[in-house]
Amino acid sequence: MNRQADLKPSGNPNDTTDNLPSSSNATRNLGNTGILPGPTGTPGKTGTLMHPAGEYSGDTGMLKLNQAVKVVRIPVAGKPGEYKTGILPMLAQSDTSALPPTTPPQNQTWQQKVKQHSKFIALATFIVLIIFSSGIYLLTRTTGHTTASVNAVKSSIKQVSLNATATANVQATATFEQSLLINDSLSSNTREWLTTQNRDDLTKKGIKIFFQDNAYHISSTATGGIAYFADALLVNEITPANFTFSVDAQQIKGDENSQYNFYGLLFSYIEINRQPISYAFRVINNKADRRYEFCTFDNRRQEHKWSDPIWKKATGKEFHNGKGKNNLKVQVKDHTFTFYVNGQKLGSIRDTKYGPGSIGLGVNGLPAGSEVAFTNLLLTKN
């Protein structure tokens, strides 16, 4: 807003009286003090007042204002009660006092971010490399030490296992040797087994017993229409109450279509009034009905010298059919009999008819003959 002030000089240059109209738009009569101009129009270090912007006419004494002004009364030094009137421009606030406009953040590319934080990234990478290298070093040392420790432990365990196995084997061997009663390969006659070389009484009945090809052979062929059961016994060897008896048996000759084709182990053998009595674990090698039987033989009976089976079981995959070799074993403990073939447990039965006695081997005779080779006889006490 532009305002005009009417400046009329008074006749007395010393008159300092101001005649100001009451209206805000009235022309102001100023004394000869005039305006207090600054030498440059701008406030400087001297603190001079800035000349108000406007057009001043020396002829009319009129001042056309182009900006807002402030009328002030300045006391005259040394003259109490006297004042000079002046006009001060209204200073606008400098733009420099305002804060610069904020620039909205712009999205930076990944490359710009990397470039901006390159020093920080380099430092962080360096620290990570140091930590990683230290970790590898420590891990290598720890792993090597751990591997060595594990190997040492494994070696110790292996050594302990070997020692334990060796100790167990030694103990088992010692126990076996303490319990071993007979260990006979039957490759030769080292225990005075029966042979028929000088036994005409037996050969006349078709019975032949001999050592051949590292085995003990027992054979029986019917003569005069009669087939005899041929047996061989160690009558001087009496088993304890609890024992294990085993032998390998291989039939060399026999009729697999006959139900009388059998052979096996004899144990608890005794004689009463010169009549033999014995338990038998036998194989009925009849391909139509192969089976195992546990029964008794009692020669005191006029008929049915062989009892009905106390226990029986059909052969399975454990048995080597035909002319195959099979290991037969019986284990006796407190009158309980447990039977095995080729290491396979077949079953158990309890019977108290007979007690300790001798052991032996037997083969039943057939019209066309039957022969079995025995090897590796073993007797131990339980």
Task: Please compute Rg for the chain using Cα positions.
Answer: 68
pLDDT tens digit sequence for 225-256: 999 999 999 999 999 999 999 999 999 999 99
Check pLDDT > 80 for residue 41: no
Residue 160 tokens read as 């302990």
pLDDT bucket at 341, cuts 50 / 70 / 90 = very high
291: Cβ–Cβ under 8 A, 6 or more apart, which residues? Answer: 283, 284, 312, 313, 314, 315
Burial label for 270, CB within 10 Å (0-12, 13-18, 19+), is: middle
65: Cβ–Cβ under 8 A, 6 or more apart, which residues? Answer: 2, 3, 4, 5, 52, 53, 54
Q: Are 103 and 111 in contact (CB under 8 A)?
A: no
- Give the pLDDT confidence score for residue 6 in this predicted structure: 40
pLDDT bucket at 322, cuts 50 / 70 / 90 = confident
Mean of the per-residue pLDDT values for the chain?
Answer: 79
CATH superfamily label, 200-381: Exo-inulinase; domain 1 (2.60.120.560)
The C-alpha atoms of residue 50 and residue 160 are separated, in whole angstroms, by 109
The C-alpha atoms of residue 56 and residue 77 are separated, in whole angstroms, by 28
Which DSSP string corresponds to 49-113? PPPPSEEE-TTT-EEEESS-EEEEEEEPTT-TT-EEEEEEE-PPPPGGGSPPPPPPP-PPPHHHH
**Would the pTM of this model clear 0.85, i.e. be above it?**
no
Q: Are 328 and 281 in contact (CB under 8 A)?
A: yes
pLDDT tens digit sequence for 127-177: 877 887 766 666 555 555 455 555 655 666 666 566 666 666 666 666 666
Place of tokens 């029966």: 194
53: Cβ–Cβ under 8 A, 6 or more apart, which residues? Answer: 65, 66, 67, 89
Check pLDDT > 50 for residue 36: no
Residue 365 tokens read as 């005779």
Q: Which of 187, 192, 189, 191 shows the shortest CA–CA distance to 213?
A: 187
pLDDT tens digit sequence for 100-135: 554 555 556 656 666 667 777 777 787 877 887 766
Break the chain into its structural domains and give their ranges: 1-91, 200-381
